[in-house]
Amino acid sequence: MARIRTTVDGLVYEDDVEPRMLLVQYLRERLGKTGTVIGCDTSNCGACTVHLDGMSVKSCSVLAVQANGAEVLTIEGLERDGQLHPVQQAFHDNHALQCGYCTPGMIMQSIDLLGDNPDPTEHEVREGIEGNLCRCTGYQNIVRAVQDAATKMKPGAAPTAEAGAKQTVAGGGA
């Protein structure tokens, strides 16, 4: 067993974990953070994407011990005071989800993408979420949602949206 200390969605956790335990298993099985899901076993699908110190990672490809001392942000930590993150809101507004299973990972990856590229073209969005698979939507409305969120997160756009975006892109804002 190894002792780890992590901040997840703004709360500090200390736990003994098996060295082989994956971050996604730690989130789901130990912390009850079941908003983050597992869709494959070869790190192809991206359903388990979270932010680790502000960067998107597939949490099935990170050991829990590697998150020691780090800040983790999951889909469950995006909402602020009842206010959805602009990317969450854009997914809703653009019907960018159907069954919703890929959605947590897709949203976390989209936020990471917009952090790197605040004004992506359709092509850049498609390339940027290539590591996240969706079987329901054909991606079209996801692409729309990401571009819609980009517009709303631009400086000068709605102030609440901008503040929310800054906090999260910075890695949790805790």
Partner 1 sequence: MTTTENPTDAPVKEIGRDRRRKEDRRLITGRTQWTDNKALTGLLHIAIVRSPFAHATIKGIDTSAAKQLPGIVAVYTAADIGADQVQLPCAWPVTKDMRSPQRPALAGSRVNFAGEGVAVVVARSAAIAKDAAELVEVDYDELEPVLDMEEALKDGATLVHPDLGTNSNAQWVFDSGEAGSGGNATEAISKAESDDDQIVVRRRFRQQRLVPVFMEPRSTVVDPTGEQLVMWSSTQVPHILKTMLALTLGLPEHKLRVIAPDVGGGFGGKIAVAPEEVVTLLVSQKLGKPVKWTETRSESLLTAHHGRDQIQDLTMSVTKDGTITGLDVKLLADMGAYLGLVGPGVPILGAFMFNAIYKIPAYRFDCTNVFTTKTLTDAYRGAGRPEATFGIERLMDEAALELGMEPMEFRKKNWIKHDEFPFTTVSTLTYDTGNYEAATDQAMQMFDYDGLRKEQAERRKRGDVKQLGIGISTFTEMCGLAPSRVLGSLDYGAGGWETAAIRMLPTGKVEVVVGVSPHGQGHETAFSQIVADQLGVGFDDVEILHGDTQSSYRGLDTYGSRSLAVGGIAVVKAAEKVIEKAKPIAAHMLEASEGDLEFAAGKFSVKGTDKGVGIQDIALAVFAAHDYPEGIEPDIDAHATFDPENFSFPHGTHLCAVEVDTETGFVSMYKYVCVDDVGNVINPLIVEGQVHGGLAQGIAQALYEEAAYDDQGTLLSGTLVDYTLPSAADLISFDTANTTTASTTNPLGVKGVGEAGTIASTPAVVNSVLDAIRHLGVKDIDMPTTPYRVWSAIQNSSGTSGRADEANVASPGAGLGSTARDMPEGGNL
Taking CB under 8 A as the criterion, the residue among 32, 155, 156, 159 binding partner 1 is: 32
A 10 A CB-CB count for 99 gives: 10
Q: Does 11 bind partner 1 (CB under 8 A)?
A: no
List the structure tokens of 151: 């517009």
Q: Does 48 bind partner 1 (CB under 8 A)?
A: no
* Cα of 119 vs its chain's centroid, Å: 19
CB 155 within 8 A of CB 34: no
**Can you list the alpha helix ranges (DSSP code H) found in 60-102?**
86-93
Helix (H, G, I), strand (E, B) or coil at 9: coil
List the structure tokens of 155: 């400086």
Q: Does 138 bind partner 1 (CB under 8 A)?
A: yes
Interior CA angle at 164 toward 10 and 83, to 5°?
85
Q: x/- binding map, residues 85-124, to partner 1, per CB under 8 A? A: ---x--xxx-x-xxxxxxxx--x--------------x--
Q: x/- binding map, residues 60-89, to partner 1, per CB under 8 A? A: --------------xxx-xx----x---x-
Q: Does 39 bind partner 1 (CB under 8 A)?
A: yes
Q: Which residues bind partner 1 (CB under 8 A)?
A: 18, 20-21, 25, 28-29, 32-42, 44-45, 47, 74-76, 78-79, 84, 88, 91-93, 95, 97-104, 107, 122, 125-127, 129-143
